[in-house]
Amino acid sequence: MNIIVVGVSHKTAPVELRELLAIPVSRIGEALKRLVVYPSVKEGMFLATCNRVEVYAVVDDVDRGVSAVQEFLVHTHLAVSEEMLLPHLYRYVDDRAIAHLFRVAASLDSMVIGEPQILGQVKTAFELSLLHRASGVILNKVVRKALSVGKGVRTQTRIAEFAVSVSSAAVELAKKVFSNLHEKTVLLVGAGEMGKIAAQHLIRNGVRQVLLTTRNLHRAHALAERFHGKAIPFGELRSALVRADIVLCATGAPHYVIEREDVERAIRQRMNRPVFLIDITVPRNIDPAVKEIDNAFLFDIDDLENHVGHNQEERRREATKAEALIQQEVETISSWLRSLEATPTIVALKKRGDEIKQAELEKALGRLGPLTERERRTIESLATGIVNKLLHGSLVTLKTEAQSHNGLLFIEAARRFFDLPDDLQESSELSGQADPATSQHMTADEVPQNVEDEPLPAEFWMKPGDPAC
């Protein structure tokens, strides 16, 4: 058996193609059933986000399996032709496919390295595969390991600790000025989009009160309702500065809206309590000379982007550590998969030993004549012990060597050495049928508890209003 992944991502395909390949959740079950109907496809999982559409599959032949998945993608999406799709597809097999899944779960393949949503999305895709009985022994093991690796990367590295957007960088810097945001007041000056996003981030991080002012008081009231804050006439901006611990300026005005003198006056009236100012407009709306004032901390768009650039570099360094962790886990799961290849040979070898034992027992018992039940059991036990001892070393060696990179060659040699048939039937547990312990007679409510021993933290799940990425 082989594991493959066939798909497209933000790295290989434009959004116009990715959105055509998306499958609504209501149709995932139907799609998975059609996927595993292909003779070469034994197990399958469909992962779709705004940045990727991928099919993970266990197949009995790589070429036929890849062709089947490509055909599945084209036939599932009538608006997509082979000519449109094939140039953008990537195809990975076995170790590369496993490593890719692990990197995806760890967010190393995301548009923003370290983003939290992808792990929850992989888990959801797995739950759907379990629910619709498309996942079996192999995918169950591999995807569970991917979820474990994804969580491990986040706990063993600092890959998710550095802000990589201007708005989140503003929050990160605010926390350096004020260790606790819960008792702080934010003043949003203007209605620029980046300012509103930064305000949302600050609210999520617990700021106590939001004041809003724009030249259009009606718009200020609308924003106040949105942010559960208080609208202030633009003419009262200078007095509002006294109340604000954090000032977000995003007016789009072609001149300074807040002068150095305004901030100096506010600091005096605040009894020198610090104020954090963020100017995310071009041209700037806050006089840069404010940076020279004690207890006034001003950051403009360049400062924020430099901070983001530094954080991105930090994430890349942490990603290097994560890659090393992933490679270790890929080798572990690959060894397990290689060991599965030996299962039919081990079963056949045990069967051959049992057949020889039974044949020789019948001959011996026929020659000995009438025996007591105790004597018969003693002879049978002797024969069983001899066969087991003769085979034990070979079976242990076979299991061990099967996990090596030359495992298939060793298995083939064992088949020839013991005169076993080449076309051995796979063990029923590896035949591609869904794992009874995790997918048969399963309800939607039961699936999450069977996917991982521990639930994912809340940060890994989509929140209302988050983009479906």
The catalytic residue positions are: 50
DSSP 76-130: H-TT--HHHHGGG-EEEETHHHHHHHHHHHTTTTSSSTT-SHHHHHHHHHHHHHH
Chain-centre distance for alpha carbon 341? 28
The Cα 371–Cα 356 span in angstroms is 21
List, as own/partner pairs, every contact residues 167-172 make where C-beta atoms lie below 8 angstroms and the sequence separation is at least 24, other chains included.
167/194, 167/197, 167/198, 167/200, 167/201, 168/201, 169/304, 169/307, 169/308, 169/311, 170/198, 170/201, 170/202, 170/248, 170/278, 170/280, 170/299, 170/304, 171/198, 171/201, 171/202, 171/205, 172/307, 172/311
The Cα 193–Cα 199 span in angstroms is 10
Return the number of other C-beta atoms located less than 10 Å from residue 409's C-beta.
11
